[in-house]
Structure 1
Amino acid sequence: MAAPDFIVVMGVSGCGKSAVAEGLATALAGTFIEADRLHSADNVERMRQGIGLTDEMRWPWLATVCETARAEPKRPVVIACSALKRSYRDFLRERLGAVRFVFLDGSREVIAERMRARPGHFATVSLLDSQIATLEPPAPDEDAVRLSITLSLSDIVAEACKSLLHPQGLPG
């Protein structure tokens, strides 16, 4: 079975989306997109100050993520993108069509520790609580692959590949 054309590795800031998405793109011989690089300067500055984004600030960013992904000729396109709310994921589905989500799930404590260990990133620990409050984990009907961030990076990538390529009978 082939990988879906678009895969979004999602979750709150600091859960490992970028590393997992990059590893998944490599494993599937696809293209990696870091959605954080597509934020407007105003969005980045707001987050650097520890202020969460509003829906109105996220819609243009999500539209840019979709445009960038659709412009990539090589499939699958693996996108590291928070996609915190179902409405955001629905927007991505509407714009991208065949998209699957890989939800990286973990405790606030583990994520906060990881965030403190990555100096220089605009999304600081001060944003974590607002991200957790905003998060709407994927519902069963969204057919997302849910993986614990307590696994090693290589195990997360391997489990994601298995679930995406052979979805029948595997936990999601």
Structure 2
Amino acid sequence: MSGSIYNVLFLCTGNSARSILAEGILNTLGAGRFRAFSAGSQPKGEVHPFALDLLRKMDIDTAFARSKAWDEFAADGAPNLDFVFTVCDNAAGETCPVWPGQPMTAHWGVPDPAAAEGSEAERRYAFADAYRMLNARISVFASLPLASIDGLALQRNLKEIGTMDDRESIA
């Protein structure tokens, strides 16, 4: 692992909602310990306005938020990654680039709030629900004793985080 600050990449197909939310959450919760990034296999080119609105309501600065391709993080000069998490089922099934730093990976699938239908209130609720799920998982991840846990146990914990609901914790 890279040292005192861990680089984490959150992946989703469009990089417009879930991965953006995760990036903002971890950069806020893990400030000084983690540096989060996000990307997509087929980026939409813009961040969903509901994701930006929600992050602002949660007092998370959105200056970082831009929809970008995952190739950016496999290119020369990209940060060495310690962790790569897929937050959508489509990205989990895609062949990813080779990441610098040989990161640990896990799938933390969350329903796509950008695909939600219904009234504006129902669609915004889908974003709030995705945020809640990601925040719970990221909070558990950020509390793991990364420097003192062995690799196999850490990998097991990362996979378990992806299957938990927001009322659970891991051992």
TM-score interval, smaller chain: 0.3 to 0.5
Q: Taking structure 2 as the reference length, what is the TM-score of the superposition?
A: 0.42
Report 1 or 2 for greater relative contact order, CA contacts < 8 Å, sequence distance ≥ 6. Answer: 1
